[in-house]
Structure 1
Amino acid sequence: MTAYDQVAWARRLKVKHLESFMVLDEAGTLTEAAARLHMTQSAMSHWLADLEELVGTPLVTRGRRVQLTPAGIIMKRLAISVLGDITRTQAELGALAQGRTARLHIGSVWAGVARGIPQALVEFQAMYPYISVTVSESPLTQLLEGIDNKQLDLVVCSLDARAYKDGLEHRELFDDNVCLVVGRASRHWNAQGPIRLIDLVQDNWIMPPPGTLTRSQLDAALLDAGASWLRPKVETPAITTLQALVHQGDYIGVCSEAMAQYQVALGNMRILPLDRTIRFGPVGVIWAKDNTAEAVKLFVEHIAEVVGQSTQRP
């Protein structure tokens, strides 16, 4: 086959094909997908048959809910990549029309927001005023999905095994720990350490959701301290909820040391002096290898310099 023959099917592929395929995967049924796309179910079935004929293989298995075939999974990956590129291009064109020549989309966990990003952004925009920046906070899994679908240019987050996935680059910024924090309403506000972790298991805990790195590290520390089971009063990924609750009631909150130190500096919380260190792990920057935008390279270098300088201070 010639190179032309190998990609001939793709030349007949339209953006609408990819958009509709993503809607079908999300909806789970032809009926629901048709309703979302404002077409009849028969028209939706005809469109899907055309797409499968175009690709040359079934993309879904039909049943009560459609399931992607192995070919469908590959097609979904193509759709995410192409639609992500289109979305980014649209944003860049919009920025250009408004007189801005570059745009940077940053995602972060609490630790990055508390340490590094604010100072780095202020200095970065002073040096490069033409670069418009968007910052969002999300759990790590959503941030990495943002990199995959090209909604985010880079993320500041914990560097676990997922940071070493093919197609990603990363740079370590600092090591972080897990801290317990309290507000003025807590009976531990004036506590002197060290406090045994096992002695706190009957308190009212505010914890991150299960599956997050902070929660996993804390659960391991509790188990090591002899607390095999602990039921939190509240589970939340939001620092604003944590901050509000510790001011209103006798709670113990859990967050990264970087965020805890930031809140302590503002006078909002105190860190409980424990009898042990609960390691969180390295925090760094992750971005896609194929993202060659100059703004990404410039920001990675600058935030690494800012965090490095703060680490060297006494």
Structure 2
Amino acid sequence: MIGDGASWARRLKVRHLESFLVLDEAGTLTRAAERLHMTQSAMSHWLAELESVAGTPLVVRGRKVQLTPAGHLLKRLAVNVLGDISRTGREMQAVAQGRVPRLNVGSVWAGIAGGLPEAVSAFQRTHADVAVSIHDGPFDNLLKGLETRALDAVIGVLDARAHQPGLEHEVLFEDRVAIVVGQGSKHWAHSDALSFRDVLHEQWVMPPGGTLTRMQMDAFLIEQGASWLVPRAETASLAMMQALLHKGDYVGVCSESMADYQASIGMFRKIRIESSIRFGPITVMWNREHVAATLRDFIGCLVAHARGAIAIG
């Protein structure tokens, strides 16, 4: 019985799930039997067996079978399980052939703006069977994923952490820190004529303390005699930064590569600053002991498109 927890599932077979989806699609026992190359009586026997396993009716019989509430639940299970089986089968086949079925890539905002989407698209034109999972977040968190092998490569700033034993890296481009406004700002229409001093007393949104962007911005504020400035909001989420600047009267801080990208799609406008706020070289890092040819191909696409994106920007 279903009420017995997972015990009913031990009697469930993949064939049960496959046939149940065929029955739901065919609509009648006769058509389902034809598709499965079975007699109608064998199909009826199979359905009775499946309902016995489930411990509850799964269909309402009539001119066209209708799924019961329990039948809908079993259909959902069938779709999920068979999808997982198919995907795992493809990945196992790729591994058997010496290929990597999935890449997990972590990136700070700057990398996402600096050619990562273009690199993924170009890579998958020649590696159509490789899925790419993108993870964004603070650099320290991403590096932990690289250490535990949860991530295959990480895009972040080039500093001492990139020189850890066992890591390799490739510089993608130089980046800076930018000050921006969004459509929610009263300065949106006049941003081209504004300078840092013009927005100094506004409400600021910044990355959290301890992140590189924030440390570089804090150092700039000290140089400008504005160390008193405290942000009204802090976020490590690009989506939240976008929403705050779009909906509210704020001034934001992000990498210049991200600012340029957001400006290109009409989301942000940059505020002029007299002196450059250095962010640092953006690099891709990976573990040299766990690098496959597939990953190297991806890194090659990333290098080409990151530099191309910055040149265009």
TM-score bracket, shorter-length normalisation: 0.5 to 0.7
Q: What pairs with 1:56-75 in structure 2 (closer than 5 Å)?
A: none
Verify: 1:137 aligned to 2:136, yes or no: yes
- Whole-Å Cα distance in 2 between the matches of residues 143 and 99 of structure 1? 26
Residues 294 and 228 of structure 1: CA distance in aligned 2, closer, same or farther (over 3 Å)? same
Structure-2 change in CA distance of 1:211 and 1:129 (3 Å): same
In 2: Cα distance, 1:268 partner to 1:292 partner: 37
1:115 aligns with 2:114: yes
SS across alignment from 1:191: helix
Aligned to 1:89: none
Counterpart secondary structure, 1:290: helix
Q: Which residue of 2 aligns with 1:264?
A: 263
Tell me by how many angstroms 1:312 deviates: 4.4
SS of equivalent to 2:289: coil
How far apart are residue 180 of structure 1 and its match?
0.9
TM-score, with length taken from structure 1: 0.67
- In our comparison, the structure showing a higher alpha carbon Rg is 2
Aligned equivalents of 1:132, 1:94: Cα separation in 2 = 14
Could you tell me whether the CA contact under 8 Å between 1:116 and 1:306 is conserved in 2?
A: yes
> Does residue 1:125 correspond to 2:120, yes or no?
no
The 1:250–1:154 alpha-carbon spacing in structure 2 relative to 1, beyond 3 Å, is same
User: 1:208·1:237 contact (CA, 8 Å) conserved in 2?
Assistant: yes
Cα offset, 1:131, TM superposition: 1.5
Give RMSD over aligned pairs.
2.0
Is structure 2 residue 91 aligned with structure 1 residue 96?
yes
Q: In 2 relative to 1, CA 269–287 (structure 1 residues): closer, same or farther, beyond 3 Å?
A: same
In the other structure, the counterpart of 1:146 is 145
Partner of 1:83: none
Percent identity of equivalent pairs:
41
Answer whether contact 1:207 1:254 (CA < 8 A) is retained.
yes
Asked whether the 8 Å contact 2:107–2:156 carries over to 1, the reply is yes
- 1:168-247 correspondence runs (5 A): 168-189=167-188, 190-193=190-193, 195=195, 197-247=196-246
Q: TM-score normalised to the size of structure 2?
A: 0.67
Distance 2:94 2:104 in 1: 18
Q: CA deviation at 1:98?
A: 7.3
* Equivalent position amino acid for 2:271 in 1: L
Contact 1:198 1:225 in 2 (8 A): no
Task: Find the counterpart in structure 1 of residue 24 from structure 2.
Answer: none
Q: 1:162 aligns to what? A: 161
Give the distance between the partners of 1:153 and 1:99, measured in 2 at CA. 17
Counterpart AA for 1:96: E
1:176–1:256 CA contact under 8 A, matched in 2: yes
1-structure distance, mates of 2:106, 2:263: 24
How far 1:278 moved relative to its partner? 0.8
- Structural mapping, 1:30-41, within 5 Å: none
Q: Is the 8 A contact 2:257 2:310 kept in 1?
A: no
CA distance in 1, matches of 2:131, 2:217: 37
Cα separation, partners in 2 of 1:264 and 1:298, compared to 1, 3 Å: same
Taking the aligned partners of 1:132 and 1:108, their CA distance within structure 2 comes to 16
Does the CA-based 8 Å contact 2:174-2:282 persist in structure 1?
A: yes
Residues 257-296 of structure 1: CA deviation (Å, up to 9, x unaligned):
1111111111111111122211111001000121131121
Task: Kindly indicate whether residue 309 of structure 2 is the aligned counterpart of residue 310 of structure 1.
Answer: yes
Whole-angstrom distance in 1 between the partners of 2:222 and 2:198: 13
Aligned to 2:276: 277
Residues 184/132 of structure 1: CA separation in 2 closer, same or farther (3 Å cut): closer
SS of 1:178's equivalent in the other structure is strand
